[in-house]
Amino acid sequence: MLAGAAVAQTPTIDAGGVVNVASYAYADLPSGSIAQGSIFGIFGKNLGPTPFAQATAYPIPTTLGGTTVKVTSGSVTANALIFLAAAGQINAMLPSSIPVGNATLTVTANGQTSAAAAFKVVASSFGTFTLNSGGSGPGAITNTAGATYGLNSAANPGETAIIYGTGLGPVQGNEAGGALPGNMPNLPVEVWVGNQKASVSYQGRSGCCAGLDQISFVVPSVTGCRVPLIIKINNIVSNTSTISVAPKGTRTCSDPGGPSAADLAKFQNQGGASIGVVALARTASSLTVPGFGTVNINADTGSGVFEKFTAAQLDVSSNPFNTFTTGTCTVSYYKGSSSASVDPALPKFLDAGAQLTVNGPKGSKTLAKTSAGGVISYSGLLSDPSAALTGGGGYLDAGNYSVTGPGGSDIGAFNAQIALSNPLTWSNQASVGDITRASGQLVTWTGGDPSGFVLITGYSASGTGATSVGATFLCYANVSDGQFNIPANVLLALPPSVVVSGVSTGALLVGSTTTPKPFTAVGVDIGYIVGSSNSLKNLNYK
């Protein structure tokens, strides 16, 4: 019995559970290594005391609450400096003296030592802290007075802003004793805000805290409520965070089809907003399948979701209004078989009725309601699945459509209307083969609604199982541009693709999306419907 109790308390480190504490980038991602001198997290079970122990003064201890972390790289073994020890998580700093290369660590807690967990130590791999504490969405980015940017307190082009994160690289000195500020001028740090490279004036440890880095930069001439921001050091790119930027003369941001400045002020004053989104989408997939050659599959789908955000959640959520800044790209991480990421800032999901109904030139279709774990959503296949392989059975042809809801316990009845035009043509689809991530990729198109937008999406994963990890990027351009070059600093965030059963885990989608069209309903502060049409091609990212 005593032996069984001891085994039950043995620390266990999750597979891939050693991550940068700011980005939470999975270990198999290009940015998933741990930089010398950076703050990292260890996730697992029985790692420390309950509820937790926290270091409250310098020097930072190597044993906290009975927990010790021993790191070995090459011939060097040293104890990590521990900020926080809890049953499910440890936050610690990797000593700058730990050499780069393949490494292992063990956790000793409750008198028991875990099995060794493998990870990689590198000189630099930066992670930006984000306001949702999950590595996505608005970054921990402030003005020079220390105020964090938000929807109604946005940055202006030309002013200096400060990014907070960890992973710039090693330092000299007594790291346990406190902050070691100092510029690192020889480090090739690039700050990309939207599609523009910003001027950097400082890159080094913060004067605040041990292991915490800051980067001071000048905000370039780009505006939007969720402008993507990426840090690139050599060929390693950080997690994508975002920053709110407004034109000079105002501090409230705006986006095409998004809420107005007056709306955002209203939402802040009333303590939040209820948002409804209905989407109609066509995807034409071109897949290379062993034994079958190229297989073309067409699918038309519909979806809807209604969410209530608090005012605080609106400022920290990844993208509550689903708006975008044209000419920019955002990258998100995922784990498992789905290429969709999850925002830690979960809103309250709202009930809009038993089902939604889509009406169009080819009749009516139903979007069924699903409800599980507090998440309510509506979805349905609109095209004929039996004709998917023949290119027939489509539903979302050009024409006028409406999506109606009968009303539910939270949302009143509504009628959202949209006109879908003929989709654009991905003109260089046939010539786009395997993509070298460090070289970027040009995408060209013809046709489409001249006033519409182009949505370019890609993803790549390390495998197809539950433990595989991947990254997805979203880029937006104007249809009138005719072309867009996916930057290397976006593609480098993706892991190289692998081939599973003859099919690549990578794909590229190019299509068009409409400007969001508003609709009204009782219980909805802002509602809109969007339509999109995409062409998908599976390929390898190298």
344-368: average pLDDT? 94
Nearest CA-CA partner of 156 in 217, 220, 202: 220
Spatial neighbors of 396 by CB under 8 A, at least 6 apart, are: 280, 281, 282, 300, 360, 382, 383, 420, 531, 533
DSSP string, 224-235: EEEEEEEEEETT
Model confidence at 344: pLDDT above 80? no
Identity of residue 222 = V
| 517/277 Cα distance (integer angstroms) | 10
Identity of residue 107 = V
In the chain, where the domains are located: 11-122, 127-245, 261-538
* DSSP code at position 388: G
Q: What is the dihedral of CA 135, 139, 145, 151, to 10 degrees?
A: -140
Beta bridge partners of 538: 507
428-447: average pLDDT? 96
Beta bridge partners of 275: 307, 526
Classify 59 as helix, strand or coil. coil
463-478: average pLDDT? 92
Indicate the fold that domain 127-245 takes in CATH: Immunoglobulin-like (2.60.40)
Give the confidence band of 290 by pLDDT, cuts at 50, 70, 90: low
For 259, half-sphere exposure in the C-beta direction (CA atoms, 13 angstrom radius) is 28
pLDDT for the residue numbered 389 = 65
For residue 225, give both structure tokens: 């409520």
Are 11-122 and 127-245 the same fold in CATH?
no
Give the confidence band of 1 by pLDDT, cuts at 50, 70, 90: very low
pLDDT digits (tens, 9 = 90+) for 190-216: 999 998 999 999 999 999 999 999 999
Give the confidence band of 465 by pLDDT, cuts at 50, 70, 90: confident
Least confident of 45-49, 117-121, 184-188, 465-469: 465-469
For residue 353, give both structure tokens: 């009725």
pLDDT digits (tens, 9 = 90+) for 324-333: 899 999 999 9
pLDDT for the residue numbered 291 = 64
Element holding 462 (H helix, E strand): none
Element holding 3 (H helix, E strand): helix 2-8
Identity of residue 17 = G
Classify 265 as helix, strand or coil. helix
Model confidence at 343: pLDDT above 80? no
pLDDT digits (tens, 9 = 90+) for 408-427: 999 999 999 999 998 899 99
- Residue that the structure tokens 């970027």 belong to: 440
Is 476 within 8 Å of 490 (Cβ atoms)? no
Q: What are phi and psi of 385, to 5 degrees?
A: -65, -30
| 202/180 Cα distance (integer angstroms) | 14
**Region for 17 from its dihedrals, namely left if φ exceeds 0, alpha if ψ lies in -120 to 50, beta otherwise:** alpha
For residue 242, give both structure tokens: 């975002």
Is 258 within 8 Å of 244 (Cβ atoms)? no
| 252/51 Cα distance (integer angstroms) | 40
Percent of the chain past pLDDT 70, that is, above it, reads 94
pLDDT for the residue numbered 196 = 95
pLDDT digits (tens, 9 = 90+) for 104-115: 999 999 899 999
Length of the chain, please?
A: 542
Classify 28 as helix, strand or coil. coil
Give the confidence band of 185 by pLDDT, cuts at 50, 70, 90: very high
50-58: average pLDDT? 95
For 475, half-sphere exposure in the C-beta direction (CA atoms, 13 angstrom radius) is 25
* DSSP code at position 321: T
Residue 54 CB coordination number (10 Å) = 13
Classify 301 as helix, strand or coil. strand
For residue 88, give both structure tokens: 């499910």
Nearest CA-CA partner of 45 in 108, 109, 88: 88
Indicate the fold that domain 11-122 takes in CATH: Coagulation Factor XIII; Chain A, domain 1 (2.70.50)
Least confident of 361-365, 393-397, 476-480: 393-397
For 338, half-sphere exposure in the C-beta direction (CA atoms, 13 angstrom radius) is 3
On average, the pLDDT of the chain sits at 93
- Residue that the structure tokens 């409804």 belong to: 276
Is 199 within 8 Å of 153 (Cβ atoms)? no
pLDDT digits (tens, 9 = 90+) for 515-530: 889 999 999 999 999 9
Classify 297 as helix, strand or coil. strand
Distance from CA of residue 218 to its chain's centroid?
A: 24
Model confidence at 391: pLDDT above 70? no
Is 33 within 8 Å of 25 (Cβ atoms)? no
Where b means 16+ CB within 10 Å and e means fewer, 245-265 reads: bbeeeebbbbbebbbeeebbe
Spatial neighbors of 340 by CB under 8 A, at least 6 apart, are: 334, 472
pLDDT for the residue numbered 341 = 62
Q: What are phi and psi of 64, to 5 degrees?
A: -140, 125
Give the confidence band of 286 by pLDDT, cuts at 50, 70, 90: confident
Model confidence at 4: pLDDT above 90? no
pLDDT for the residue numbered 3 = 41
| 168/347 Cα distance (integer angstroms) | 33
Model confidence at 123: pLDDT above 50? yes
